[in-house]
Amino acid sequence: MKDNLIDIIKEEQAKLGYRKESIRLYYPLGSLKHLLKADADIEKMREVLDDFCDEVKEFFGQIEVTNNGERFCFKVPDAGVEYVHENMAENEFICGLVKLVSEHGCTIEKIREYFLSYNNDIHYEKTKNGEFDYLLYFNNGIPDKYYYCFTVEECHVIYHRFLKHDYEDFEF
């Protein structure tokens, strides 16, 4: 869970730049169950999250967790965002991907080539799920363990990044 928070904060910093301000991150209950290895209902998850927030307080400061049903919001204070910026190395892969998809005329083939420049062992498929056009990920999780879903729209490409279990939980 801690690593996932760091990854998401680093991705946001790659997209938007660093600002010393709090950030809100949202997780469905199913994702939290996987990340925290806890088979918990909403009430039990609140307890698990209270313990987790106490464990990572030295890194992130006091994370505030709220929920609306099965959707949980983590408000990471500016001190936590600053900690990630100051102490965690840049994610070269995600920084390059963000730059690539922001370029006018980016294509899925350029993205595929970018993935291959990091590791030849990739999964690449044109999806039939109607939600996304393409799915790419590194089969061995190197340099990145996320599943990337791409949608090609006229002059640009949009991506969403998921952990394997979250992608598999989708009902397409």
Same domain, 55 and 120: no
Strand, helix or coil at 109?
A: helix
Same domain, 6 and 79: yes
Same domain, 41 and 78: yes
Residue 147 near residue 163 (C-beta atoms within 8 A): yes
Put simply, whether the predicted model's pTM sits higher than 0.85 gets the answer yes
Same domain, 81 and 108: no
Residue 137 near residue 148 (C-beta atoms within 8 A): yes
Mean pLDDT of 2-19: 94
Identify how many contiguous H helices and E strands the chain contains and give both numbers: 8, 7
pLDDT tens, residue by residue, 139-171: 999 999 999 999 998 878 999 999 999 999 886
CATH of the domain at 81: 1.10.10
Phi and psi of 6, rounded to 5°? -60, -45
| Domain final residue pick, 20, 54, 87 | 87
Same domain, 50 and 111: no
Q: Computed from CA positions of residues 117, 119, 121, 125, in that sequence, does the dihedral angle turn out positive or negative?
A: negative
* Residue 161 CB partners (closer than 8 Å, separation 6+): 11, 146, 147, 148, 149
Q: Computed from CA positions of residues 41, 131, 96, 140, in that sequence, does the dihedral angle turn out positive or negative?
A: positive
Give the span between the Cα atoms of 154 and 106, in whole angstroms.
10
Mean pLDDT of 13-41: 95
Give the CA count within 13 Å in the CB-facing half-sphere of 33. 14
pLDDT at residue 109 greater than cutoff 80: yes
Same domain, 155 and 111: yes
- C-alpha Rg value of the chain to the nearest Å: 17
pLDDT at residue 59 greater than cutoff 70: yes
Same domain, 160 and 101: yes
Same domain, 7 and 79: yes
pLDDT tens, residue by residue, 72-90: 999 999 999 999 999 999 8
**What does the pLDDT read at residue 72?**
98
| Domain final residue pick, 53, 87, 121 | 87
pLDDT-derived band at 61, boundaries 50, 70, 90: very high
Mean pLDDT of 105-134: 94
Q: Give the number of domains in the chain.
A: 2
**What does the pLDDT read at residue 90?**
87
The lowest-confidence range among 4-13, 20-29, 112-121, 127-136 is 127-136
Same domain, 105 and 165: yes
Give the span between the Cα atoms of 120 and 126, in whole angstroms.
18
Give the span between the Cα atoms of 147 and 27, in whole angstroms.
16
| Domain final residue pick, 72, 87, 102 | 87
Mean pLDDT of 10-29: 95
* Residue 86 CB partners (closer than 8 Å, separation 6+): none
Phi and psi of 137, rounded to 5°? -160, 165
**What does the pLDDT read at residue 166?**
92
Give the span between the Cα atoms of 109 and 18, in whole angstroms.
30
Which residues constitute the domain of residue 36? 2-87
